[in-house]
Amino acid sequence: MKILVLDNDMMERSVVQQVLQHNGHEIVTAQNSDEAMLALQEGDIRFVIVDQVTTDANEKQFIKRLRDARPPYYIYILLIASKAQDTDITQPRNGADDYLHKPIVPLELKSRVHIGERILGLGDNLVNAKDTLEKTALFDPLTRTLNETAFLALSRGELERARRGQSPLSLIAIEIENLGEIQMKYGSQIVEEIFILIAQAIHEKSRPYDGVGRYEKSTFLLPLPGVIGQDAEKIATRIASGILNANISLLDGTPIQLKLGMGIVSSARITAATEMNTLIEKAREAATRSLQDKTGGVYTIFL
């Protein structure tokens, strides 16, 4: 770990450096608060040891400046003081995390640094866990497409933007009609693999910024802001070709035939009365009609 040491007492700094180097830490030194702030701006420093007696840390309110800078990660501050005041530690935004009394005892310094490392590690684990939970809350764990809740939030945002901008909006629904039959014949594992392959094909054949969502069990939805009519049909046809050309088969090479419904609802002008749930119903209705069409093409409903 890279540790910044703000200390002008040569003997103290020598003790600190010996302890830190012995434990494998990289040391950055600063003579004053301004130098320390410049070093922190370069990044990668998560731990600061500051002597409030031999430096201008108090005069320049170094700890407060560091906290007010709000770096993208937490910086742990160990304060060296002849006598620490309660406010040095307990202030929620401006205080240090821990302190040492002078003179510095190497074993105690080692212990304090180890405690700080553990606290930083716990904090990083919490941040990672939070990110994981947020992603889990947004994405379907199997296909990595938006889950139903996240998709509805995104698509309603697209609907509102289209309404304000008086721009067109289309919605593609992709239905797999024979999933139940496939599951009965080959098992649920094959069905899950089909979902994954379909999701990959949709991502590959759609635009990078399009938000693909999984709706209920067997439906994928794709909103197309600014797209209408034949342009939407071209995108849907490209996606259908990508799915059907994925060559979904069993381990022994037996091909699995998908009955794929591709439906589009397309509106040239979104009004105040237009609701996303209505568009979804119409897109799914169009997908059902495409399944009934013997040509196997894309069916579009215009609003």
Question: Are 268 and 126 part of one and the same domain?
Answer: no
Q: Among the three residues 137, 159, 183, which one is the final residue of a domain in this structure?
A: 137
Q: What percent of the chain has pLDDT over 90?
A: 13
- Report if residue 171 sits inside a domain: yes
Tell me the CA end-to-end span of the chain in Å, nearest whole number.
61
The strands making up 169-176's β-sheet, listed across from edge to edge, are 213-215, 219-225, 169-176, 260-267, 298-302
Q: For residue 54, how many C-alpha atoms fall within 13 Å in the half-sphere facing its CB? A: 18
Contact indicator for 47, 75 with CB cutoff of 8 Å: yes
Q: How far apart are CA 264 and CA 286, in angstroms?
A: 6
Residue 84 is predicted with a pLDDT of 52
Q: Among the three residues 137, 161, 181, which one is the final residue of a domain in this structure?
A: 137
The pLDDT-based confidence of 281 (bands split at 50, 70, 90) is very high
- Report if residue 143 sits inside a domain: no
Question: Are 154 and 267 part of one and the same domain?
Answer: yes
- Report if residue 83 sits inside a domain: yes
The pLDDT-based confidence of 12 (bands split at 50, 70, 90) is confident
For CA atoms 221, 226, 227, 229, the dihedral sign is: positive
Residue 89 is predicted with a pLDDT of 47
Question: Are 158 and 229 part of one and the same domain?
Answer: yes
The answer for residues whose C-beta is within 8 angstroms of residue 268's C-beta and 6 or more apart is 168, 228, 302
- Report if residue 207 sits inside a domain: yes
User: What would the pLDDT profile of 217-241 be if each residue is shown by its tens digit?
Assistant: 788 999 888 888 888 888 888 888 8
Residue 4 is predicted with a pLDDT of 92
Q: Long-range contacts for 197-200 (Cβ within 8 Å, ≥24 apart)?
A: 197/243, 197/246, 197/248, 198/143, 198/174, 198/243, 198/246, 199/143, 199/144, 199/145, 200/246
Question: Are 31 and 114 part of one and the same domain?
Answer: yes
SS3 246: coil
Question: Are 296 and 154 part of one and the same domain?
Answer: yes
Question: Are 113 and 203 part of one and the same domain?
Answer: no
Residue 162 is predicted with a pLDDT of 84
Question: Are 11 and 123 part of one and the same domain?
Answer: yes
- Report if residue 228 sits inside a domain: yes
Residue-wise burial string across 41-54, b where 16 or more C-beta atoms lie within 10 A, e elsewhere: eeeebbbbbbbbeb
Q: How far apart are CA 221 and CA 283, in angstroms?
A: 9
In one letter, which amino acid is 54? T
User: What would the pLDDT profile of 131-170 be if each residue is shown by its tens digit?
Assistant: 654 555 678 888 888 888 888 888 888 888 888 888 888 9
Q: How far apart are CA 190 and CA 249, in angstroms?
A: 9
CATH (domain of 28): 3.40.50.2300
Question: Are 129 and 169 part of one and the same domain?
Answer: no
Q: Residues 80, 82, 87, CA angle at the centre, nearest 5°?
A: 75
Question: Are 157 and 18 part of one and the same domain?
Answer: no
Q: Among the three residues 84, 110, 137, which one is the final residue of a domain in this structure?
A: 137
Residue-wise burial string across 58-73, b where 16 or more C-beta atoms lie within 10 A, e elsewhere: eeeebbebbbeeeeee
For 110, the domain range is 2-137
CATH (domain of 275): 3.30.70.270
- Report if residue 142 sits inside a domain: no
Contact indicator for 248, 272 with CB cutoff of 8 Å: no
- Report if residue 49 sits inside a domain: yes
Question: Are 219 and 114 part of one and the same domain?
Answer: no
Residue 92 is predicted with a pLDDT of 44
- Report if residue 119 sits inside a domain: yes
Q: Is the per-residue pLDDT at 301 higher than 50?
A: yes
Q: Is the per-residue pLDDT at 79 higher than 70?
A: yes
Question: Are 180 and 295 part of one and the same domain?
Answer: yes
User: What would the pLDDT profile of 84-131 be if each residue is shown by its tens digit?
Assistant: 554 444 444 457 888 888 888 888 888 888 888 888 887 777 666 556
- Going by the DSSP 8-state scheme, the letter that residue 31 receives in this structure is S
Split into its structural domains, the chain has a count of: 2
Question: Are 133 and 154 part of one and the same domain?
Answer: no
Q: How far apart are CA 235 and CA 264, in angstroms?
A: 10
Q: How far apart are CA 94 and CA 92, in angstroms?
A: 6
